[in-house]
Amino acid sequence: MNSGVDVQHLGVIRRGRAVLRDLSLRIEPGELVGLLGPSGSGKSTLMRALVGVQRVTSGSATIDGIPIGSAELRHRVGYVAQSPASYRDLTVEENVRYFAAMLGIDSSDADRVLELVDLSERRRDLVSSLSGGETNRVSLAVALLGEPQLLLLDEPTVGLDPVLREHLWGVFRQLRDRGLALVVSSHVMDEASRCDRLVLLRAGKFIFDGSPSTLLSRTGAGTYDGAFIALVKDTA
């Protein structure tokens, strides 16, 4: 079967404006892909399209050969939105069990996902008592329910301190090593070095797809910010 993500000539128009333009992309299982681009470049729109909550105007996309938006994909794709929601007046474990029930997933899966994100010891604490990074990990735990093969994480490290960011990237690498495909978006170019592969988005178009080292060598830039600016000049 055709495993992984296959995006073909995807386009999205919002309020008469092309927000995503002719995007084609393949992502294999076990890849950790950084989706980077400035604010407004279309990262969240692309993720929403892959989850099936954003109407696509042209082109197509499949996940494991199944068209995006199909009910069959509900358990294969985990998604953490840019402003993830959890119930602050419930405990960590109650949150995860609640979402498991909503998804029709056995509540025993809560133990597994809490272990994966290293929140087992905080399971009886109210979400309102957690730090920002811990709260993010509750959403990540929810996205991991049902053992998805693809995780779409929209700016999961924004606002976190360097230690927490490092910890979270460690979790992403572990999941990658288990064979999941992960797409992690960021508008902070210095996260680039943590990815196996970078896809750079600018004004709804891909301007680069390759490894972090290729990005630096191709542009001759010393920093990822510099590389992005060089690419923008090249493609202008």
Ligand X SMILES: Nc1ncnc2c1ncn2[C@@H]1O[C@H](COP(=O)(O)OP(=O)(O)OP(=O)(O)O)[C@@H](O)[C@H]1O
DSSP 191-230: GGGG-SEEEEEETTEEEEEE-HHHHHHHHT-SSHHHHHHH
Q: Which of 21, 25, 34, 44 binds Mg ion (CB under 5 A)?
A: 44
Helix (H) or strand (E) holding 156: none
Q: Which residue has the tokens 């992690």?
A: 184
When the beta carbons of 8 and 82 are compared against Mg ion, the nearer one is 82
Of 13-21, 94-102, 107-115, 121-129, the window that binds ligand X (rule: CB under 6 A) is 13-21
| Shortest distance, position 207 Cβ to Mg ion, whole Å | 17
185 backbone dihedrals φ, ψ, rounded to 5°:
-95, 155
Q: How far is the CB of 61 from ligand X (least distance, A)?
A: 16
Q: Which stretch binds ligand X (CB under 6 A): 33-41, 55-63, 88-96, 106-114?
A: 33-41
Residue 45 binding ligand X, by CB under 6 A: yes
Binders of ligand X among residues 169 to 208 (CB under 6 A) are 187
* Identity of the residue, 126 or 207, whose beta carbon is nearer to Mg ion in the bound complex: 207
120 binds ligand X (CB under 6 A): no
Give the whole-angstrom CA distance, residue 147 versus residue 59: 28
Answer for which of 31, 33, 43, 169 binds ligand X (CB under 6 A) is 43
Residue nearest to Mg ion (CB): 44
Name the minimum Å distance from CB 206 to Mg ion. 16
Could you tell me if 88 and 127 are in contact, meaning their C-beta atoms sit under 8 angstroms apart? yes
Q: Is 78 in the site for ligand X (CB under 6 A)?
A: no
Residue 147: half-sphere exposure toward Cβ, Cα within 13 Å: 6
DSSP calls for 5-66: EEEEEEEEEETTEEEEEEEEEEE-TT-EEEEE--TTSSHHHHHHHHHT-S---EEEEEETTE
Using CB under 6 A, which of the segments 32-40, 145-153, 171-179, 207-215 binds ligand X? 32-40
| CB closer to ligand X out of 116 and 203 | 203
Examine residue 67 and tell whether it contacts ligand X (CB under 6 A).
no
224, amino acid identity: Y
Contact residues: ligand X, CB under 6 A = 14-15, 19, 37, 39-45, 82, 187
